[in-house]
C-alpha cells in the first residue's frame, strides 16, 4: 500500500480522471465496471491527445477502485475485485 500511496500522491490527475469516468459509467446505468477498462481508456485518450506524460501503472488499478469505493460507499460493488494476496 505504501508504493500506491506514493504513486497516487505524485499522480493526482490519474485519480481525478478515473473518478470522472467511473461516475460517467455509473450514471449510464452500468452495474459492473472494470478498473483496468478505465485505465486502458485513459491510456488511449492520452496517447491520441499527445499527452505522453501520463504513466499509468496497471498494478494500481485495483487500488484506485478500492479508493473510489472508500470515498463513495454508496457505489460499493460496481467494481469486481479479487482478494489481494500481497499488498505493496
Give me the domain span that covers residue 36.
Answer: 2-75
| pLDDT tens, residue by residue, 4-61 | 999 999 999 999 999 999 999 999 999 899 999 999 999 998 888 877 667 888 889 9
Q: What is residue 79's three-state secondary structure?
A: strand
Residue 59 lies in a domain: yes
Residue 86 lies in a domain: no
Residue 32 lies in a domain: yes
Residue 83 lies in a domain: no
**Burial class, 41, CB count within 10 angstroms (exposed 0-12 / middle 13-18 / buried 19+):** middle
Residue 58 lies in a domain: yes
- What does the pLDDT read at residue 49? 81
If one compares 67 and 86, the residue with the highest pLDDT of the two is 67
Residue 87 lies in a domain: no
If one compares 88 and 33, the residue with the highest pLDDT of the two is 33
* Number of domains making up the chain: 1
Residue 39 lies in a domain: yes
Amino acid at each position: 500500500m505504501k508504493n500506491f500511496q506514493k504513486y497516487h500522491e505524485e499522480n493526482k490527475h490519474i485519480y481525478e480522471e478515473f473518478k470522472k469516468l467511473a461516475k460517467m459509467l455509473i450514471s449510464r446505468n452500468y452495474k459492473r465496471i472494470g478498473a483496468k477498462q478505465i485505465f486502458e481508456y485513459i491510456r488511449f485518450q492520452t496517447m491520441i491527445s499527445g499527452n505522453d506524460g501520463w504513466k499509468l501503472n496497471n498494478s494500481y488499478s485495483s487500488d484506485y477502485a478500492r479508493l473510489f469505493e472508500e470515498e463513495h460507499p454508496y457505489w460499493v460493488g460496481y467494481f469486481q475485485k479479487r482478494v489481494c494476496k500481497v499488498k505493496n
